[in-house]
Amino acid sequence: MDKSEIKARIEELSASLRQHNYDYYVLSAPTISDFDFDQSLKELEKLETEHPELAGENSPTKRVGGDITKKFDTVAHEYPMLSLSNSYSREEIVEWENRIHKLSPTTPTYVCELKYDGVAIGIRYEDGKLKEAVTRGDGSKGEVVTTNVRTIKTIPLQIKGDFPAKFEIRGEIFFPLENFNRLNEMREELGEDLYANPRNTASGTLKLHNSAIVAERGLDCYLYGVYGENLAAPSHSEAVKKAGEWGFKIPDPAKNRITTCTSIDEIMTFIDFWDKERSKLPFEIDGIVIKVDNYIQQDDLGFTAKSPRWAIAYKFKAERVETTLNEVTYQVGRTGAITPVANLEPVLLAGTTVKRASLHNADQIAKLNLHEHDSVYVEKGGEIIPKIIGVNEDKRQPDANPVIFINNCPECNTELVRKEGEAKHHCPNFVGCATQIKSRIEHFISRKAMDIDGLGPETIDLLFKQGLIENYADLYLLTFHDIVELERMADKSANNAIKSITDSKNIPFESVLFALGIRFVGETVAKILAKHFKNIDALIAANLEELINVEEIGDKIAQSIILFFESETNRDIIARLKEYGLSFEMIVAEDASDVLANNTFVISGVFEKVSRKELKELIEKNGGKNTGSISAKTSYLVAGENMGPAKLAKATDLGVNIISEDEFLAMIS
């Protein structure tokens, strides 16, 4: 290439990498793989090294990665959060280890640990108490997400033992696979698009403004990097061990999740082990991190402009296999959402046999240009649900027909609809589509709804086929004989089922509301609506404006609620459920009051007389509302000891009333 072509290529790579950087860190919606991103970055680095006069001042090679979203307060990192050099090549790991040997006067010991696929976090502790939590951001400054981090149960608010007066601990917040799967199952039930992978969802969750939702999702965190003065630990491995003694969740050496090595062979053994075993972990990892263990040696080796010389990351390539598409079938959810599923020739991928892969919606099928019996590439790296990422068009049969999304419901043959702005098609036959009805009944009896035991999907199917139930209200007409005469149903099981149905009449209003299966009304929204409207009749009577004036309720949720209650069938079912004794109004505690009505509270810090949980209960019991973040709508900030300075500053700037624990208790006394 001549100089003008090189300049054009540098500009092209720079623009592309900036966009991908924004997609990854700010939108949490990457459009290329980590491998492709890193390869482009390396090409740009090579060109800029060879032609430094063409390197831009703000080139992507001169930053750590990440951006600030402007949703949260930002602070400068006391110790820059630099990213590690990435490698997909074993040869590069060998070269790195050789360089360390040449630069170090003494033979180094290395630490190998898992590279968690999550969100980097730095948490500052003072006098043993959690003070502030900050994201990586752009490496030099990050966003303050303390309130959300406090909801992660494995992160201690106060530590124990012989800890420094002031230090920072760093690690990775991630989404456990079980919790991520559960969240996607709920979204599928609601007819919403599934989240792509745990890493992006953890990032998006950490930046939510409702900490109650963050708490419900169940993020987790491993902490392993200690920064500060006078740490009294000579090495990284010793500091990690100390952190475990202080009460932090650290990588478990007994499970081989962190180990020390003295040779390249031992490093490679660790890499090989986890390349094979990573599919068995309850969370995602995308590689291995290798560090020089001794802190003095780390200082001697120093840093480049954007990464430490004493550490490197080996990234696993996402496992990809090729197999044949046998057919595309379609699933109907309880809200009528239609999900296309690719049925595949069974193939081994990441330790499991894959037979099916979600195609999400019609747009995904069109994007892949999928044809019947195509040879497809399936990937699971970073994905819980296997995903078709491409088609081998060279193997496509000349007479193959394109896969065309269906026009009618596969269960009831009703013509499908797709509303503007929605990704999925829906079957509008809410009252007549058998699959929707049975799915709604299964949702109704689920643990977080009416918590009715003893009636699984097979039993619901049998009851429905025999005409014993046509909707979930019919459950309360079932008798012992109805159930015991079903196939494989014993006397004890039938009695337990009847008892559980009867006991469900004591379930509180917010759970009953969730159980109704209104689209977009999940657990959290149901609680908000129940507390605001107090009873079902007030909710049914609410118009669009009244609904969207409720905090957290937007147009989409409000319209769905109105549509649900406009159905005469749904109103009849609710009337029957009332007759059967289900709770359709909030039960007010004897000592409740409305002294805090129309006031919104944020609590922050540590309290002496009551716990944070008790404070929240007192606010709600007396008619107030709890929120996790300060805004212009906040009435009071209840300030305890060691509250975050950013939150205090924001409250002051917005003119929010700041009161102490005693002042709050006086308000309700």
SS3 state of residue 160:
coil
Four-point Cα dihedral 424, 430, 436, 438, nearest 10 = 160
Of 669, 665, 663, 604, give the one whose Cα is nearest residue 637.
Answer: 604
Which DSSP state fits 309? T
Which residues, 6 or more positions from 207, have their beta carbon under 8 angstroms from its beta carbon?
A: 69, 71, 72, 143, 145, 148
Which residues, 6 or more positions from 437, have their beta carbon under 8 angstroms from its beta carbon?
A: 431, 464, 470, 471
Assign 3-state DSSP to the chain and report helix, strand, coil percentages, each to 5.
Answer: 40, 20, 40
Which amino acid belongs to residue 166? K
Spatial separation of the C-alpha atoms in residues 247 and 535, rounded to whole Å: 44
- Contact criterion met (CB below 8 Å) for 164 and 228: yes
Sheet holding 119-126, edge to edge: 129-135, 119-126, 166-174, 220-227
CA angle at 221 for the pair 18 and 389, rounded to the nearest 5°:
45
Here the tokens at position 118 are: 């999550």
Dihedral sign, CA of 299, 300, 301, 304?
positive
Catalytic entry in 3, 42, 70, 115 = 115
SS3 state of residue 415:
strand
Here the tokens at position 358 are: 């979600």
Would residue 115 show up in a list of annotated catalytic residues for this protein?
yes
Spatial separation of the C-alpha atoms in residues 434 and 413, rounded to whole Å: 11
Which residues, 6 or more positions from 244, have their beta carbon under 8 angstroms from its beta carbon?
A: 250
Which residues, 6 or more positions from 60, have their beta carbon under 8 angstroms from its beta carbon?
A: 13, 14, 17, 18, 21, 41, 44
Q: Strands 86-87, 311-315: parallel, antiparallel or unpaired by DSSP?
A: parallel
Spatial separation of the C-alpha atoms in residues 395 and 1, rounded to whole Å: 35
- Contact criterion met (CB below 8 Å) for 152 and 221: yes
Of 246, 129, 216, 210, give the one whose Cα is nearest residue 605.
Answer: 129
Listed in order, strand segments (DSSP E) in 483-583 are none
Spatial separation of the C-alpha atoms in residues 293 and 288, rounded to whole Å: 15
Strand partners, 106: none
Rg (CA), the chain: 28
Listed in order, strand segments (DSSP E) in 296-380 are 311-315, 320-332, 338-349, 352-358, 375-379
- Contact criterion met (CB below 8 Å) for 35 and 59: no
Spatial separation of the C-alpha atoms in residues 118 and 276, rounded to whole Å: 20
Which residue's entry shows tokens 């790296």? 381
Of 343, 350, 351, 340, give the one whose Cα is nearest residue 323.
Answer: 343
- Contact criterion met (CB below 8 Å) for 311 and 292: yes
SS3 state of residue 320:
strand
Spatial separation of the C-alpha atoms in residues 220 and 217, rounded to whole Å: 10
Catalytic residues: 115
